[in-house]
Amino acid sequence: MIKKVFVRLLFVFTISTLTLVAQKVETSNEIKTMEKESVFMLTDSLSSIKLLADKLEIKKLIQKQKVSREERLEQEIKVIEKLENLEAPAEDIYGADSWVQTVNPMKDSSLIPNTYEIDLKGFVAPIKYYRTTSNYGWRRRGHRMHHGVDLKLYTGEPVRAVFDGKVRVKHNSGRRGYGKYYIIRHTNGLETVYGHLSKHIVKAGQIVKAGDIIGLGGNTGRSTGSHLHFEARFCGIAINPQMLFDFAEGTPNMDTYTFRKYSRSSHYARKTKKTSQSRDGHCQIYKVRRGDCLTKIAAQYHTTVQRLCQANHLSKRSILKIGDKLLIQ
């Protein structure tokens, strides 16, 4: 009897163990299958992510290429525009039939724009600077207007174009006037005059770049002593060159100059009013010193803070820095 019970128990135990082992094997297989599936899913996901990343990369590349293509196109257009502007500088202002031999090329003053922003950034000094021998403005004797500035030079020294442009006038007026001179029309709308030269180097109609030597300095025309008579004009109207440029430094006094046709100051130097701009056309740029404020400078130059602010794009609360250059109007 005991033996029978034992055999039965052994049978039950064996069956249970076998069932457990079977279950374990089954579970292990299931796990393996799941693992395999997971790996497949993961690989699948990774591939999808990689594909997506590649797609994004390609998209970015296409975008970049598109941008660079557009940039290249823009640059090419700019180069073409620059060349066209050099071929016919500031034609929109002067018109195609303004390549005349007179100093003032404007036949009709009503065509002069009321305001115009003149870009001065590419300025190159016309000569090696020694000193200014005569300022722009009314001459004390003779009541004659001096439309330019006289800069000391020695005969034979190079004279350079101050901006890119095209030679409009190359002329020799003999013992009168400017003597051997040039008028160059620039791409920024300005025209510059270079008088009393000893030698012409460039031809009429020639395109010149800023800094190109156009002639040699001298003492021709109505001149006593070698110097360069230099004028800056917009549509024939003379602007004080000392207001636009610092010849000693060889730099422009501002990035852009706003030409105003009806401005009572700037280009016209007046001999009667005792305002800053009437002092023979100079003293129009003021360098800020320690302890200065807008009110003090305005009082010093018989002008108003409002006018100072307008001329220099400042607000009444702007803080002035020592050495800042202010245009006095």
C-beta closer to Zn ion: residue 150 or 164: 150
Min. distance of Cβ 169 from Zn ion in angstroms? 17
C-beta closer to Zn ion: residue 166 or 229: 229
User: Which two three-digit tokens encode residue 181?
Assistant: 């001179």
C-beta closer to Zn ion: residue 89 or 195: 195
Min. distance of Cβ 133 from Zn ion in angstroms? 8
Coil, strand, or helix at residue 41? helix
| Token pair 């409002």: residue | 306
Q: Provide the binding-site residues for Zn ion, judged by CB under 5 A.
A: 150, 229
Min. distance of Cβ 185 from Zn ion in angstroms? 20
Min. distance of Cβ 116 from Zn ion in angstroms? 25
Task: Show Cβ contacts of residue 105 under 8 Å, excluding neighbours closer than 6 positions.
Answer: 94, 98, 99, 168, 191, 235, 236
Given a contact cutoff of 8 angstroms between Cβ atoms, the answer to whether 87 and 166 are in contact is yes
C-beta closer to Zn ion: residue 230 or 286: 230
User: Which two three-digit tokens encode residue 4?
Assistant: 């029978």
C-beta closer to Zn ion: residue 149 or 216: 149
User: Which two three-digit tokens encode residue 288?
Assistant: 């800020």
| Token pair 């025209």: residue | 191
From residue 242, give the alpha-carbon distance in Å to each of 15, 87, 120, 137, 258: 114, 28, 13, 11, 15
Min. distance of Cβ 136 from Zn ion in angstroms? 9
Which DSSP helix (H) or strand (E) runs through 21?
A: helix 2-87
Min. distance of Cβ 256 from Zn ion in angstroms? 26
Q: How far apart are CA 19 and CA 16, in angstroms?
A: 5
C-beta closer to Zn ion: residue 124 or 145: 145
Residue nearest to Zn ion (CB): 229
